[in-house]
Structure 1
Amino acid sequence: MDSSTVQDLIQRGMPEAKVEVNGPDGVHFEALVVSPAFAGKLPLARHRMVYATLGELMGGEIHALSLRTLTPDEAQRQ
């Protein structure tokens, strides 16, 4: 598994999102996902939306995924 594959999977599941994934060791990844679909959702719900795009890979080929999930407005303020 590599960062670009994880990024592609998230992007396919959330086509309106901007996605950046890093993970040089191939099992631990960090992702920034910016999506208007996150508006009004708590962090746990946002993370579940991203995890849903990865399905059974979570806990298997993807050992760990650290997420930052932001709306476009939140991303612009940072």
Structure 2
Amino acid sequence: MRHGIHPEYRTVVFRDTASGATYRTRSTVSTDQTIDLDGETLPVVNVEISAASHPFWTGNQRVLDTAGRVERFHQRYGSIARPARKQG
């Protein structure tokens, strides 16, 4: 490999903001934040969701009240009739 053209490949920590779980891995991602983990100061990247908090992996799925949302939309804006599509 040519020197000076590739990003630095280093050990980083990904932290799930939803569950607080941390994952130590190697990556080229850059960040200014650091964390002290196991006696080492490592760069940390905050992620919103990971396997520790994703509903598919945890089995905790949230049910959304989509029917209520649709009803509120129709109450606010009424039902808007669409023009008929031409066939042919």
Normalized per residue, which structure has more strand?
2
With normalisation by structure 2, the TM-score equals 0.18
With normalisation by structure 1, the TM-score equals 0.19
Highest RCO, 1 vs 2 (Cα 8 Å, sep ≥ 6): 1
Rg larger for: 2
Normalized per residue, which structure has more helix?
1
